[in-house]
Amino acid sequence: MSIDLAGLTRQLELLRDEILAAAAAAPDLASLERLQIDVLGRKGRLTAVLRGIGSLPADDRPKVGAVANAVRAAIEAAVAERREALRAEAIATRIASERVDVTLPGRPVPRGSRHPIPETIAAIAEVFGQFGFVVYEGPEVETDVHNFQMLNIPLDHPARDLWDTLYVDLDGYLLRTHTSPGQIRVMARERPPIRALLPGRCFRYEAVDASHGFEFFQVEGLMIDEGTSMADLRGLLDEFAGALFGAGRATRFRPGYYPFTEPSVAFDVRCVVCDGAGCPACSRTGWMTILGAGMVHPVVLQYGGLDPERYQGFAFGMGVERIANLRHAVADLRYYLENDLRFLEQFR
Ligand code: DAH
């Protein structure tokens, strides 16, 4: 059997040219893959030719084989080249679509600031924390029992007039008028020695003006131990006044009245505006009252589950707005709850 060598060679070259053109035009990797299988795969068009070589006369085999191998090499090279080109194209497209301009200025992150009330509470807690006082919190909706009765203010007692109270619909409950009920809750929970600080929101039925809100903040302090005295209270409060308003600030105790302390005092600091000369901020007295305090009444200790023969303690309570006013020269406490950014942004 003789074969038409020239014809076969021509046929292979035609196949090569066709496939090279198709490879160069393959629109994507998948169609290139299909083309490769079509030609070089197990049932591919070139594979069929190569397989046929075995049945050729021995003399013709090398010649046809050489041509076929050259054709295969050309096709493989063309496919590899196109594959590379398609990959590069895909990467270029992706880079173009995901381009970021690293030279653009960053978007500014709006920076907030601490509200002056929590900021002041933190400053107060920081000072008392150095003396071992631990922060607790009591509920804003309190029982009449905690807010009044266990603080030595019985039902129908005239001392209730000191706190204009907002009641809630639930019988026996009210919005706490001060943080003092926290004293009872701490005593019920802890054994002496107790050093507790109780910051929190309080509520009163008040006509609102520059120095009165129906909603405001207090920080309560309570210390209970054996042998605690008024001198300990005074020493502690002097340290506090010095830390907040400048070391060595003059202070004084004035007699006061609270049902839950005996004796009771008002604690004054030398006016932080005029330093004692007398000004409108201190009503020309040269002094500013910053808190109420006293030795915990024995009845209150008993309600707290403590034996007044063994334990004594002192308590104090201060209005946070008043102290924040002094720290930041704010003249009207209504600003604190208005959420006006023009006010709040000044505390950055
Ligand atoms: N609870 C008082 C008030 O709201 C403040 C106060 C006075 C708290 C004397 C105390 C204290 O713990 O000992 O007016």
Closest C-alpha residue for ligand 1 atom 5: 317
pLDDT, average across residues 186-210: 96
94: CA distance to ligand 1 center in Å? 69
26: CA distance to ligand 1 center in Å? 87
Atom of ligand 1 nearest to the CA of 318: 5
Does position 19 have pLDDT exceeding 80, yes or no? yes
Answer yes or no: is the C-beta of 220 below 6 A from any ligand 1 atom. Answer: yes
Whole-number mean pLDDT of the chain?
A: 93
Answer yes or no: is the C-beta of 258 below 6 A from any ligand 1 atom. Answer: yes
DSSP letter for 56, please: S
Answer yes or no: is the C-beta of 321 below 6 A from any ligand 1 atom. Answer: no
Does position 127 have pLDDT exceeding 80, yes or no? yes
Residue 348 — pLDDT band, cuts 50, 70, 90? Answer: confident
Q: What is the pTM of this model?
A: 0.72
Answer yes or no: is the C-beta of 316 below 6 A from any ligand 1 atom. Answer: yes
Q: Which helix (H) or strand (E) holds 182?
A: helix 181-189
* pLDDT tens, position by position, 46-68: 888 888 888 888 888 888 888 88
Which tokens hold the place of 303? 């309600």
Burial 237-246 (b: 16+ CB within 10 A, else e): bbebbebbbe
State the Rg of the chain over Cα. Answer: 45
Is residue 78 within 8 Å of 24, Cβ to Cβ? yes
Does position 2 have pLDDT exceeding 60, yes or no? no
Answer yes or no: is the C-beta of 317 below 6 A from any ligand 1 atom. Answer: yes
Closest C-alpha residue for ligand 1 atom 8: 317
Residue 1 — pLDDT band, cuts 50, 70, 90? Answer: very low
Closest C-alpha residue for ligand 1 atom 12: 316
148: CA distance to ligand 1 center in Å? 12
pLDDT, average across residues 242-270: 96
* pLDDT tens, position by position, 5-16: 778 888 888 989
* Residue 3 pLDDT: 62
Is residue 292 within 8 Å of 314, Cβ to Cβ? no
- The CATH architecture assigned to 116-347 reads 2-Layer Sandwich (3.30)
Question: What ranges do the domains of the chain cover?
Answer: 5-97, 116-347
